[in-house]
Amino acid sequence: MTTKERIHELVDRLPGESEEHAEAYLRYLLQTSDPVLAALQSAPVDDEPETDEERGAVEEGREAWRRGDVVTDEELRRELNL
């Protein structure tokens, strides 16, 4: 029996509540086999302190979102002629 066959057998035996965890782990393994995704996942966290200007811009964006002052992806594509 090949490794892949053994994996399929194990997946077939999983209880229903474990299927989502197994799927998430298999997706993780797929992503980490991609060198670009692996680099992104292992990149250090941006540790630069947030400036007052940045905090203000984030709050401005959140306020606009709360007001519903947003555009859909489709509207943005039309606006950018994409």
Q: What is the pLDDT along the chain (82 residues), one digit of tens a residue?
A: 899 999 999 999 999 889 999 999 888 888 777 888 778 878 898 889 999 999 999 999 999 999 999 999 999 999 999 9
Domain extent for 69: 51-82
Residue 28 lies in a domain: yes
Residue 55 lies in a domain: yes
**How would you label 15-38 residue by residue, b for 16+ Cβ within 10 Å and e otherwise?**
eeeeeeeeeeeeeeeeeeeeeeee
pTM exceeds 0.85: no
Residue 36 lies in a domain: yes
Residue 25 lies in a domain: yes
Number of domains composing the chain: 2
Residue 64 lies in a domain: yes
Residue 46 lies in a domain: no
